[in-house]
Chain A
Amino acid sequence: MPNSDTIERLIDDFEILEDWEDRYRYVIELGKKLPPLDEALKNDQSKVTGCVSQVWLICDRSDGPPLTLSFRGTSDAHIVQGLIAILLRLYNDKTPQEIMSVNAGSLFHRLGLDEHLSPQRSNGLAAMVKRIRQDASRMAETA
């Protein structure tokens, strides 16, 4: 059962999961533990386009100081939901500057999930990262 709250823990857990099946099972479990998103929040503004599955992402700001951002998200596909859970761990409670310096590609590579981050893959993960970075960049300007 995944109980990893930190990225380090996630990486440790993934290292002992050798085959793809266990890794997918783990990702699916991570997704199941993601708090559900209120139906009212699933709208055209929060919808991330470019995905085979449906994905919604909400950016919450906390004025601090320092100003930090957190994200909530969900998908109707289990694996995508799990990938969102990993992304949120990577990006949540960070300042816009910190978010801009996160290298999601390197983490997904270490997790052996980098194929999912390819922009050619129509699962929307790359689109989600792009949305998160756009939100961060916009917040950095208004801060």
Chain B
Amino acid sequence: MNKPVDMTSVTPATFDVQAARADFPILSRTVYDKPLVYLDNAASAQKPAQVIEAMTNLMESGYANVHRGLHYLSNSATVKFEESRKTAARFINAAHDHEIIFTSGATDAINLVADSFCADIKPGDEIILSVMEHHSNIVPWHFLRERSGAVLKWVAMTDEGDLDLESYRRAFSPRTKIVALTHMSNALGTINPVKDLIAIAHQHGVPVLLDGCQAAVHVPVDVQDLDVDFYAFSGHKIYGPTGIGVLYGKSSLLNAMRPYRGGGEMIEQVSLEAVTYGSLPQKFEAGTPPIIEAIGLGAALEYVMGMDRAAIAAHEADLLVYATDRLRQMNAVRIFAATPHEKGSILSFNLEGAHPHDISTIIDRAGVAIRAGHHCAQPVMDRLNVTATARASFAMYNTRSEVDNFIEALEKARALLR
């Protein structure tokens, strides 16, 4: 891309952020006549032209239902759909393509595990969760608790915003059935030492589900190296479409599980008396799948894998450090989980004397989009003893000059609220 490079946005890494920006059509728009500064990436990321085109092209010239018709379009759509599965398998280094289950999102993926893997759970059996979880990795387990009498055990968080490892170790008992933890906190950015956490769980013979919604975007994920049992992530946070997510599960576990939903495409034989189920992955994909979205997700994952991910990580780390420093210089900011052992590009903070609602409403007028609220992680808010935080979250296409705009808008908000 021969675009002029904004020198303020040049980072120590070699990542060409201006070239990446050019891939995202929405970034050239304005909001209230100001250039859009989109810092709400942890909620949902914007989409590159490659994803938009893959979905549009499919609808314009390649669309039909998959796995069914013996006609040209159905066959070619099926090939593309299954290519996306292969891409997702490659993205997280799954041993087999059939270990990739397409779901409607990470929420759906976690509900699937809570429902199907834990179908035979007994009253008093235990599930280990952490107070750092997003509600999508809490509420499905509350459902399970309500219907089965299972007990939820909570891993505590340190003041630095790390999982408390002692509390984690203590949480295990002979009745522990599964551990469900976030790989990277959506509210704080903390990246958990998941390989160690999984090893500890496996010493107790307990499988682990990781919520990878944030981590899949920012951290290389190798499910075989992690030896993780289930891994869930959504499409829309990793530059792909909404309505699609992935549940990775080890074949041995998925094969032993009952189907989650019944319907077309997941069966082998249906008669008036009985039904036999299909094999993986169709067993867990009842009904017409989100075909367009799955192919869009494949395009998004190809897009990310086509980039230098280490350079993206360095670029995002630079943005996080730069924004953290600039926020600190304001001298009236509380940063949450400022110093965990490892942190992704999420910055959760509060401005003295201002509610996050005020901040986000005011800086919105400067074209700056951040999130204010509990971030669907109310136990985290309780732990921090606040009702809400403001959260700026960075993606590959953000720049230092956007951080400058963000800080300038914050200064203005502070002046207004004084």
Query: Are B362 and A24 in contact (CB-based, < 8 A)?
Result: yes
Residues of chain A lying within 8 A (CB to CB) of residue B354: 78
Residues of chain A lying within 8 A (CB to CB) of residue B241: none
**Number of A-B residue pairs having CB atoms within 8 Å of each other in the complex:** 44
**A61 interface residue per 8 A CB criterion:** no
Of residues 6 through 53 on chain A, the ones whose CB sits less than 8 Å from some CB of chain B are 20-21, 24-25, 28, 52-53
Query: Are A24 and B416 in contact (CB-based, < 8 A)?
Result: yes
CA distance A76 to B372 in the complex (A): 13
Of residues 119 through 135 on chain B, the ones whose CB sits less than 8 Å from some CB of chain A are none
Of B32, B357, B387, B412, the residue contacting A123 (CB under 8 A) is: B357
Of A21, A24, A52, the residue contacting B356 (CB under 8 A) is: A52
Residues of chain A lying within 8 A (CB to CB) of residue B362: 24, 79
Chain B residue nearest to A22 in the complex (CB):
B416
Query: Are A53 and B355 in contact (CB-based, < 8 A)?
Result: yes
**A140 interface residue per 8 A CB criterion:** no
A77 touching B358 in the complex, CB below 8 Å, given contacts A24-B416, A52-B372: yes
Chain B contact-residue range equals: 10 to 19
A20 touching B357 in the complex, CB below 8 Å, given contacts A52-B372, A52-B388: no
Residues of chain A lying within 8 A (CB to CB) of residue B372: 52
CA distance A30 to B338 in the complex (A): 35
Residues of chain B lying within 8 A (CB to CB) of residue A137: none
Q: Could you tell me the distance in whole angstroms from the C-beta of B109 to the nearest C-beta in chain A?
A: 26
Of B358, B387, B412, the residue contacting A79 (CB under 8 A) is: B358
**A85 interface residue per 8 A CB criterion:** no
Residues of chain A lying within 8 A (CB to CB) of residue B32: 20
4 more A-B contacts (CB under 8 A) besides A28-B416, A54-B387, A76-B387?
A: A20-B32, A77-B355, A77-B358, A122-B373
Q: Can you give 7 contacting A-B residue pairs, CB < 8 Å?
A: A20-B32, A21-B412, A52-B357, A54-B387, A75-B355, A76-B387, A78-B417
Q: Taking beta carbons and an 8 Å cutoff, which residues of A are in contact with B? A: 20-21, 24-25, 28, 52-54, 75-80, 122-123
